[in-house]
Amino acid sequence: QKEVEQNSGPLSVPEGAIASLNCTYSDRGSQSFFWYRQYSGKSPELIMFIYSNGDKEDGRFTAQLNKASQYVSLLIRDSQPSDSATYLCAVNLKAGGTSYGKLTFGQGTILTVHP
Amino acid sequence: KAGVTQTPRYLIKTRGQQVTLSCSPISGHRSVSWYQQTPGQGLQFLFEYFSETQRNKGNFPGRFSGRQFSNSRSEMNVSTLELGDSALYLCASSLEGAGWEKLFFGSGTQLSVL
């Protein structure tokens, strides 16, 4: 089992729809969870982070965390073609000791929003 | 505020050569991390530096090394290059303390080994 798993997609949604991106992680003790967006040929950009169970909203983005199920998700409301990118889930896994600088990333989900 | 700056943007090397990549963090950020990104393995952690000291290291061979200078700028070196080292190398900077988890990435250096 991979430490952080995402469906690679591609996930295709029509403009204006809700895009739902999912991520599971292996270490039950993990406390910090991040979503990065990476446009083709660009570097990852932090768009959301969440530490507590429940929902966290920022504009059109909502991060959801369920630590009991070891599951984190990202919802994008009113999806726009400009949201088309790869979305990376990242976790600060607690197992293995020192974690400075080390986030463990999923393989990413490719999202395509079509007009 | 300027972002993380990485140079060079592209590099082409041949097997057996060595390469040095450079990273200047966001002003005020003292932690610098390095990641390798490939289509097959995704983003993988190489190492992290803070105050000129390596505090964490990923599972890469000793051919991969780095250092950090007193102004927080960092360099990464890969010796005896192999074809499999072809990748995008990303540098990320962050604040100290709990803020270290929010990584801000540079544009990366695309390394091709022929």
CB contact under 8 A, B43 and A34: no
CB B50 within 8 A of CB B56: no
- Mean pLDDT per block of 10 residues along chain A (115 residues) reads 87 97 93 95 95 94 95 97 97 76 93 96
**pLDDT by residue (tens digit) across B69-95?**
999 999 999 999 999 999 999 999 998
What 3-state class would DSSP assign to A55?
strand
The whole-angstrom separation of Cα B8 and Cα A61 is: 34
Q: What is the pLDDT of residue A97?
A: 64
Stronger pLDDT, B57 or A96, i.e. the higher one: B57
Question: Searching chain A, which residue's CA lies closest to the CA of residue B48?
Answer: A101
- Of residues A30, A25, A23, A31, the one with CA closest to residue A6: A23
Residue A44 to residue B105, Cβ atoms within 8 A? yes
Flag whether residue B106 sits within 8 Å of chain A, measured between CB atoms: yes
HSE-up (13 A, CA, CB side) for residue B39: 3
pLDDT in tens, B6-18: 999 999 999 999 9
Chains A and B: how many Cβ contacts under 8 Å?
Answer: 60
